[in-house]
Structure 1
Amino acid sequence: MDSSSNEHPATVPSEAKEENEHIIQATKSLRRHMGLPEDPTENPSSATPSSVGPTFWLEVAPPSIRGAKCRLDVCTTNIMPGKYRIAVNPGCHSFRGHQSPDYYHVGCFEKIADFSQEDFVDRVQPVTRNTWQFRNLNASSVLDGNYLLDAGAERLTISWKQAVKKLINERDGVEIEDDTSEAVRDLLDNAGSSKFVPREIPDADAFELRLLSSTLAPNESDGSEDTEEWNLFYEFQMVVDGDQKSLDNRHNLDMTLYLWRDHVTLATSNNLSEELKERKEKELNPKAIRAIKRLMVTPMPDIQGAFRRGL
């Protein structure tokens, strides 16, 4: 018998143990960076306050030759251009005195960030036409279409954050009053449906209203007689309203975005294998393809509006 066959299984637990130790240390480092105690069971007041609280920016990796290194030590795969990633800004690491962002695959970051806790969820922000300046990005790069999330990923990320926070509050017995007006909530939830009737929203930005009513609309309909309208959140959101078990899934954000991007590929690629062509035939009807093609577009900043406002 080949002796190597006896030795190999013994190495697996050792490798898994080492990887787990790396993740534990990375988790502690992130918590320290956030000003939280390393041990989540400790009182937060025992931690050293962070001078600058980091933001967890969800963005699209920009063009580069080799991609960016994932900061999780046990990950050996670079984050390639066009992939979703988390940019922790400011990062834990400094280079020549400059504290640059730390980049992670979304799934890798979920291994060390406890998104069943509000301290972590609150720091997640999508990089969009409205937030890129707070990420301190170069304007020309953003206007070239870099970093910004596509419409589908933007809506799914915001929906994920709201759904997770709602579950956390329900678990912890915290009652939060939603002060969003009915007209705004109706726009966010029902735009694109044949039943949606726009209502006046005082002081709302006209450019943003147009986007939310069109490109960013979560629904797709074939008309007033359509009884099975397509809905972005129903199709891809992995966090289930009212289901506390959703908080136990550490990778629900990565799974949501993966499912969305996977269906973008199915809907738009001209180079599908026979197997994927069969999947497309089974999973995507013309309405779904139409919706995905609309939501895969990246909403850009309102440059003309900014000039008019003198910004």
Structure 2
Amino acid sequence: MTIDVSRTDLLKEIQALKKKSFIRDDMVARLCEAIQELSVREKELSAIMSGAKAVLGQKGFKESARAIFDYCKDLIGATSGYVALLNETGEENEVVFLESGGLPCMVDPELPMPIRGLRSEAYYLNQAVYHNDFMNSEWIDFMPKGHMTLKNVMFAPLVIDGKSVGLIGLANKATDFNDNDAEMATGFGELAAIALQNSRNLDQRVEAERQREKVIENLNEALSQVKKLSGLLPICAHCKKIRDDKGYWTQIESYIHEHSEARFSHGICKACAEKYYPDIDIYEDE
């Protein structure tokens, strides 16, 4: 049985029952709290499902990551942030995209983003971390000149095979970040990690297919250069000519030359040398 009724309608009905003294005040508060909690969980589930669809859409990582980030940002209430991946040396973030939330930021996007400060904790701990008074934190000295103001920040790692390979960064939520926000961001970080792994697997498959096609092309090219003799060849028992498909008798050298890549250079064997040139000892040095 499905009850199709909005949260607002439920709250109105509860208030009506309260006026008629059908339920106690403490029960009203508990019911309202439960309805509010249900609404929050429904919103969280909807955002997670939307993020999962972004992964299943098999888009490029940048597109999937952007969709996942937006769902996460909107759910938690942050207004700015970014998604970044760890570079090959493991020393810097490489930003996939950055959302300033409309705030001015004068930092050159090409500047390196070393793994330090609060984001280093997310990388090394493999878990979401946050700070709600970032401008007065110990990490403020790491911010480059011209960076936008960060009221609060949160970092959730992208973990593959037990290692953090990137981050979802969130900032400037109107209220404080909390543990539930960290739990939600962790879930979205897992989705982003799956999207990244899928993208890498797809790149590997594309590269493997490209290599396979190249090998096939090379083999076909090599085969096109090869002529092969096969089957039963009629050969004269005396003169050793070969009869071709059209019934003509051809010198064996000509036939093989025509049907293969072999080339001939003439010489004389020892038996024939003794038979036809008995006065010349061609093989005297052997």
TM-score using structure 2 length: 0.22
Structure with the higher fraction of residues in strand conformation: 2
Structure (1 or 2) with the larger CA radius of gyration: 2
